[in-house]
Amino acid sequence: MRERLTEWVAYYNHQRYHVSLENLRPADEYWGRQDQIVAERQKTKQLSLLKL
């Protein structure tokens, strides 16, 4: 049981995106990477719009 719970917590914090965190993972928010990730997403979005 402990092993499965540890796996679930790791998934929840490091792999699963959370809508309430602007589709970031809790680990990204905790380590302060949210601004960098959002900026990269915006850049990718702008580049994809230019290709239209």
Specify the pTM. 0.73
Write the DSSP symbol of residue 18: B
pLDDT given for residue 52 in this prediction: 66
Q: Which two tokens stand for residue 13?
A: 């914090």
Quick: pLDDT tens for 2-52. Answer: 999 999 999 999 999 999 999 999 999 999 999 999 999 999 999 999 876
pLDDT given for residue 15 in this prediction: 97
| Domain regions of the chain by residue span | 2-50
In the chain, the largest separation of any two C-alpha atoms, in whole Å, equals 50
- Contact indicator for 28, 13 with CB cutoff of 8 Å: no
